[in-house]
Amino acid sequence: MNFLLLYTTLNLSKGRSTVWRMFLSAAVGGIYAVLIFIPGYEFLQRFSLKLFLSLIMILISYDLMNFKEFLKIFTFFYMVTFAFGGAALGIYYFFEDRILIENGVFYISDYPTKLLLMVCVFLPISFKRLCTYIRCKFSKGDLIYSICISFDRDVVSTQALLDTGNLLYDPVSNHPVVVIEYKEVREILPSEIKKIFENSLEDDLACVTKHMSNSRWIGRFRLIPFTALGKANGMLIGFKPDGLGVLIDENWINTDSVVVGIYNNRLSKAENYHALINPEIIH
């Protein structure tokens, strides 16, 4: 259970760790859990020692770069711990009624394995979805990243929103798709591709096919099907860039396993971003 708590915290906080470090930290927590039941070690139940233990477990488990990162992981660790503990106790209380409380410790005899498995399987999934929802609703500004796209020795830079609704993949390579406004990449596109967007012909499949077949970059361009509100069978023109860079925590993360889809309109009325990032690229 300690390892599951640490592993879930790692995934939610996007921290850095290794399996052996989390196992070592889980073992330290397990030893503590045994000691509090031994006569003479009741002092370990003090709040200050419980807090100290959690600090030690975090320091053992994760590679912390600064105090800000420590606070983030510390917060996620306690959120996960309370969620798991509350869910385990709540589910048990719903199905069973044999709980003993003594000196601030819950004693449960023969906790059903199937209930524990329910908590271990379903809670991490639902908790991760909840955190994603909260981030999208209340921290939209934190989901905007600087990106740069290189294509045929040219580079363009812009702001992009991490969009959990963008689940587009290139049907040829199965690479995730970044959707970007046409005006942001206009200068790096071949002239024959520009004509399609300048004349708003991107929905004319025959015209698109004709222009793309005449381009020397035909091997780099894609047609990406999508479904959106009011448009059941849409098609995006996309291209395979030389590379995509995303600025994350002051470090540029680069990949070439991506396709850029071109959108001939605005993505944000406020103009605070001009592209949509597939979550897989960040993760």
pTM here is: 0.51
Render each residue's pLDDT in the chain as its tens digit; 283 residues: 888 888 888 877 778 888 999 999 999 999 998 888 888 887 888 888 888 999 999 999 998 878 888 888 898 888 888 887 777 777 777 766 666 666 656 666 666 777 777 777 777 677 666 666 655 554 555 688 999 999 888 899 999 998 877 788 888 888 999 999 999 999 888 888 888 888 888 777 777 777 777 777 778 888 888 876 455 567 888 889 999 999 987 788 899 899 999 998 888 888 889 999 988 887 7
Q: What φ, ψ does residue 260 adopt, rounded to 5°?
A: -105, 120
Architecture per CATH, domain 143-282, reads as Beta Barrel (2.40)
Q: Where are the domains of the chain?
A: 2-138, 143-282
In this prediction, residue 5 carries a pLDDT of 87
210 with 221: CB under 8 angstroms? no
Beta bridge partners of 176: 169
According to the model, what pLDDT value does residue 22 have? 92
53 contacts 99 by C-beta, under 8 angstroms: no
